[in-house]
Amino acid sequence: MNKISLNPVENQDYLMERDILSAFKQQPDKNNRIQQGMSPVEIADIVSDHLIGVVKQQFEAAKKEYLASTGK
């Protein structure tokens, strides 16, 4: 998985070594809590994943409202 930053200095691949079977897991091995000692990149990944989740929830709510108002 490639991660791209908007900061051109940080446009590098940040891949962590994982076991081969992790590709088949339903839930990823990703930490979703900010802890002491984390790098700024790890913290940014957690925050961006959370924000993306919030936007998806808002989009789904708006979609349901729209479909309900149009009668579909």
Task: Give the E-state strand segments of 1-47 in sequence order.
Answer: none
- Which of the 8 DSSP states describes residue 21? G
- Which of the 8 DSSP states describes residue 36? T
Percent of the chain, pLDDT > 90? 32
d(CA 44, CA 26): 23
d(CA 35, CA 33): 6
For the stretch 36-61, pLDDT in tens is 898 998 899 899 989 999 999 999 99
d(CA 34, CA 44): 9
pLDDT-based confidence at residue 5 (cuts at 50, 70, 90): low
- The model carries a pTM of 0.53
AA identity, residue 36: Q
Percent of the chain, pLDDT > 70? 57
